[in-house]
Amino acid sequence: MIDARAVVSPRAQLGEGVSVGAFAVIGPEVVIGARTTVGSHAVIEGPTRIGEDNQIFAFACIGGAPQDKKYKGEPTQLSIGDRNVFREFCTMNRGTASGRGLTSIGSDCLFMAYSHVAHDCAIGSKVILANCATMGGHVQIGDWVQLGGLSAIHQFCKVGAHAFVAGGAILTRDLPPYVMIAGNPAAPHSINSEGLKRRGFTPEQIRNLRTAYRILYRSELKLADAIVQLQELARDNTEVQPLLTFIDASTRSLVR
């Protein structure tokens, strides 16, 4: 299962059924779970822990040193869950000692060609980064988020679960759950209703979230006043609560 032309460190740990293609390089302190496939010319550096059933395509660079001038070679980490797909030339960097010391990626994600996850990012599960989507350091991405091709996320931004970032959008502030944005600078357009339907949200839940969106973005209320109305709506509609939780945790102000 390991091509004779691959270079695998004796300090790497490969699980049962792992396959490694020609000219791939796997460094020390790399742990790869069962049945994961590593394509030709892919490079995996450590300390990196990769779960089971992942697919790493040709020329992907996983676990490289952070692109941060403050980094001085500290043994920071990258942690990856299960069943992710990393397409050609995507780059996933480890954390920094001055940050979390860890870049983390959940499970069931798709990282298309040339996408980039920077140091200290925290990526949820079932996330999609389309071609050339990229993010700065310390970004937090919730579950089920989709980033369109050539989109970019500023460092330290947060993106809530089920949000949608259109192709070419430039996000410099925090994006609440469920919201779709487009443009440069990115501006809100609507609730990600189609994505929510696909994930089993009921028509009533989607109507409630549309109401929440109108309160937050179309009522011309100050944020403090909008929060009061959202709290009322959330009392009987639990799907609205993640919006309030996200707003409370926002550090870069909201896209609004």
Catalytically annotated residues: 119-120, 137
Contacts 24+ apart (CB under 8 A), 220-227: 223/247, 223/254, 223/256
* Residue bearing tokens 């937050």: 216
3-class secondary structure, 217: helix
Which residues are CB-neighbours of 219 under 8 A, at least 6 positions away? 226, 229
DSSP 251: S
Instruction: Report the 10 Å Cβ neighbour count for 74.
Output: 14
* Residue among 93, 86, 82, 92 at smallest CA distance from 38: 86
Pairing of strands 110-111, 128-129: parallel
Element (H, E) at 209: helix 203-213
Largest Cα–Cα separation, the chain: 65
